[in-house]
Amino acid sequence: MSTRILAVEDDERIRAAVKLALEDEGWAVTEAATGEDALLHFQREPADVVLIDIMLPGIDGFEVCRAIRRSSDVPIVMVTARADTHDVVAGLEAGADDYLTKPFAPKELSARIRALLRRARTSDVSSPHLRFGDLEIVPEEGVVRRNGRDVHLTKTEFRVLVELAQSPGRVFSREVLLERIWGYGYFGDGRLVDVHVRRLRTKVEADPANPRHVVTVRGLGYKLQV
């Protein structure tokens, strides 16, 4: 069965053009013009990737993102009007895995989607059990437990944690994490890493304000504390 993409965009013509371009890639595209519409579609038939424009009439893109996140860890790409506004951070905090700025080239969009799909499917990590204090990571099963209880992570959050856990104590720069997880080169947006680490901390740390597992190394990046 081919990959299903739910595209939420209120501009009919952009939606149609994006659909055409994505279908060229061999993906099945479901369109939604409003947030309400999108949530209905998603409940009826979950997609493999969701593309959400932030500016929507009715409930906005952030709300759609949060609503989907409550029940699913499906990869989400946000579409924002500008890269230098708070929208990007807000979108990532609402649960998006990646973002694009309008106008984007369809090629760029399909590259982002492919990277997300790869991330969602890979479990090439073969290390068995990893344990850090109260934290237990089972890469093969895609499971993380804190104090024996399952912690629910999105695919991207999980990849960030596993990437750091592969070499405990080693410092990973934002650029390295961007390249390994998102497939961006040098010019990826460091805020992707920062917000994902922040989200990860709220789930795996006892006190997210004073992290003991995923710690910041000022000016260098992040590491998993042994």
Partner 1 sequence: MRRFPLTRRLGLRARITLAFAIGALLLSALLSATTWALTRENLLDQREESATVVVYQNAGIVQQQVRDTDAQTLLGSLPTPLGGRPILFNGDEYVSLTPEFGQDALPGELRDIVVGGQPSRMRFRLRGEMQLAIGIPIPSEQVAYFEIVSLNDVEDTLSALGVSLLGASLVTTLAGAALGWWASRRALRPLSGVSSAATALAAGRLDTRLEPSEDPDLRSITASFNDMAQALQDRIERDARFASDVSHELRSPLMTLAASIEVMNNQREDLPERARAALDLMVGDIDRFQQLVEDLLEISRFDAGVVRLELEEVHLAELVMQAVSHSTDADVPVELDAELAGVVVNADKRRIVRVIANLLDNAAKYGGGATGVSLRQAEDGVQIAVEDRGEGVPEQDRELIFDRFNRGSVAGRRGSSEGVGLGLALVAEHVNLHGGRVWVEPRGNGQAGARFVVQLPVEEQE
Instruction: List residues near partner 1 by CB under 8 A.
Output: 11, 13-14, 16-18, 20-21, 24, 81, 83-84, 102-107, 185-187, 190, 219
Shortest separation between residue 104's beta carbon and partner 1, angstroms: 7
Shortest separation between residue 110's beta carbon and partner 1, angstroms: 10
Of the CA atoms within 13 Å of residue 184, those in its CB half-sphere come to: 18
Nearer to partner 1, 104 or 146 (CB): 104
Nearer to partner 1, 163 or 179 (CB): 179
Shortest separation between residue 192's beta carbon and partner 1, angstroms: 13
H helices, E strands: number in the chain: 8, 11
Nearer to partner 1, 31 or 134 (CB): 31
Beta bridge partners of 215: 223
Strands 4-8 and 28-32: parallel
Shortest separation between residue 112's beta carbon and partner 1, angstroms: 14
Shortest separation between residue 124's beta carbon and partner 1, angstroms: 28
Q: What are 40's two structure tokens?
A: 């209905």
Nearer to partner 1, 40 or 105 (CB): 105
Supply angle C-alpha 48, 187, 159, rounded to 5.
40
Rg over alpha carbons for the chain, rounded to the nearest Å, is 18
Question: Which letter, b or e, does each residue of 140-163 get, where b requires 16 or more Cβ atoms within 10 Å of its Cβ?
Answer: eeeebebeeeebebbbbbbbbbbb
Nearer to partner 1, 98 or 136 (CB): 98
Shortest separation between residue 101's beta carbon and partner 1, angstroms: 10
Nearer to partner 1, 128 or 187 (CB): 187
Alpha-carbon distance of 55 to 71, in angstroms, equals: 22
